[in-house]
Structure 1
Amino acid sequence: MKKILLFLLILPFTVIGQEKGIKFEHGLNWSQVKEKAKKENKFIFVDLFTTWCGPCKYMSAAVFSQNKVGDFFNPKFVSTKIQMDKTDQDSEEVKSWYAEAERFAQDYKITAYPTFLVFNPQGELVHRMVGGGEADEFIERTKDALNPETQYYALLKDFENNPTDLALAHRMVRAANTAYDEATVIQAEDIIISQTKSENLTKECAAYLVANTRTSRSKAFDLLRNNPEKIDALLEKNGATNRVLASVAINEVLGTKIDFNTEPNWESLKTEISEKYSNIDFDPIFKLMKAQYYMQSHNWAALKDIVENYLISEDLNSNQLNSYAWEIFENCNDAACLDAALKWSKKAVEKDVKSAYLDTYANLLYKKGDKINAIKWQEEALSLANEGEQDNYTDTLAKMKSDLPTWQL
């Protein structure tokens, strides 16, 4: 696995016929799935996905297929997948679920993918999760579905019955963000913010605001916007508040106006959003948007330049550094681009030692001609790899030892 942040992740979509991991039902309709779960006294795990969703493909290829994930799910759940979009290549089985997919989308307000729903053995919806993750973290998230005290819809009912409970509101915001339930996030945040004044902001509250603000329609957004210097000082992170404000504003104002198939008019977009939010600095986030465009358009020299420019005044997390570095490794042979990517990759490894980052670093060293150190770091990556990564990393190591390219020629 090369990119943990899923900018442009494309992985093989292999589910039907997989021999390990989660056993997904085939040949059953929704009523039969519920009957099977009731008879076996199991919960129902439903994976709602689309064919174009990168994180959906990653979950199927690299998470659901792991033995430890199957060992957790199979004794406890009857599992099924529902494709939420339609394509010309759909099988008869997928087509037979079209009507059910439309009902799920409407009844359960599905607006993001992947969405995972969990029903109890009686067929009642008890839990909701949105977004992918690594195997161990995903198992831990799913455990909440089995406990009545942590099930999302039980927590939601408790919150509705106790709308002024501050501790419960904090729990509700975290859970609602995970469930992609914006209305509940705003409601819970309003309770929290109503008891938080600018003059008595604490470090804990500042960290909460930065981590949980998702919409400009919340009081949390206003509190951030009115107190950027104070919140940055509390967190000891210059620019932290601005990054959150800019991200939220960009998603809401420009999200549907950006088509990465053609280069946007960056200055026009920046002018449009700056007129609405005059006190937010959009330069850093526009650089990241340009980086994504240059990746998609395969303009590797421009990608190198914009990332290097961004790093002069800002920082990137290890996932972002790794993603950019891997894109250049796979697609570019220019020495200057490879040097920059190697620098980013080394920085990612220094920030966080993960198998994916080590694999990227090793591959870049190898492409630059440093075989000895490449093998050393690839062996380290393999030692930290999970089940879904081991075969790939073993194959890469064998190629390095045999002086074969590890990239497409």
Structure 2
Amino acid sequence: MFVDVAKIYVKGGDGGNGAVAFRREKYVPRGGPSGGDGGKGGDVILEVDPNLSTLQDFKYKVHYKAEKGEHGQGSNKAGKNGEDLIIKVPPGTIVKDMQTSEVLADLVEPYQRFVVAKGGRGGRGNARFVSSVNQAPDFAEKGEPGEEKWILLELKLLADVGLIGFPNVGKSTLLSRITAAKPKIADYPFTTLTPNLGVVDMGPEGKSFVVADIPGLIEGAHEGLGLGHEFLRHIERTKLLVHVLDGSGFEMDPIEGFYKINEELKNFSIKLIEKPQIVAVNKMDLEESRENFPKILERLSKEGFEVIPISGATGFGIKDLINKIVEYLEKSVKDNDKYNIEEGVKKYTYKKEDEILVEKGGNVFYIKGKVVERLVAMTDLENESAVKRLQRVFKKMGIDDMLKQKGIKEGDIVKIGDAEFYFFE
């Protein structure tokens, strides 16, 4: 089965809690605090595995969680960090945030890695909170929750050449003819309704290139009709398109078909119509094709297209087509034309954290902001000393003033994430 879209849930490991402990050793009558820090939670990491070609494994497992960090211990012993969870994906995988549709990463290079969900920081033990005014703090931080999200994985094949055209114009036959022309061929076993890849090895003097036979497009493909959206995405990566026409015109006028396919490409993505195209007029073993060819050549040559007559059935013109493909690919290398990689790839998954918002709803005030929510999540709200420290931190951050500007009164409710407080001066 060829699977090219998958939705999965990822969660970084929670950080371990810091410990509250005091030294109680013999001959140390006034031992100070000795609670160790909690360990960091493991990250969820996507890694490109060049041996994979589909997202099939994600059909059977959807939830992925990294290991939690261990809690801190007495005697200043820090907890162990959680193990990272590495998820293997095929080359050409695009990672999107399900909530925002933002592209997080575009993974194309073998063994390339991307941290898709960071593990939480370990909470600090009470030994870290000693100050001149508090020599024996009786509180510690809880571990930070790991980052979590639903992500969409989309696979776009990394092919150099894409074969396009209406159904039954002979793309599959052409692919088999191209690959059969060379002794070293790697065929990828997909089903008939999926893209087929063939690797053409030009021998010791030349470089190999990958050809993708994209299932036949139909009118309305850009709107998702037929298998449109699923397979149009696979030709976005290609450096060159080979547009296969049925020269016989038995089912459709070849020139009319050429323009209809290009209209579908344009409607789906303007980048597709800008790709170089070689027009391969197929079925030249038929008399009708030979009669139609001069008209096709004259019309499309005027518009700057390379037009090559071929026969997938007999092999006529195949060598000329391969040579022309190589010529175009060599030019794209000189022009430094890489696979079309999505722009805006993020190096880190955390967004800007310094923005704090205060919103009012009735007598409830909502405080939103990554840094504030993290502070609350890492505070032991059952510990009076920890809560007092949180109040002091909020005051320093100016949150009290922001609430007063919004008109808060004593006894009003303040909500931060899942936590709820009453406001008092």
Same fold (TM over 0.5): no
Higher relative contact order (CA 8 A, sep 6+): 2
State TM-score, norm by structure 1: 0.22
Larger radius of gyration: 2
Structure ranking higher in strand proportion: 2
What TM-score do the two structures reach when normalised by structure 2? 0.22
Structure whose residues are more often helix by fraction: 1
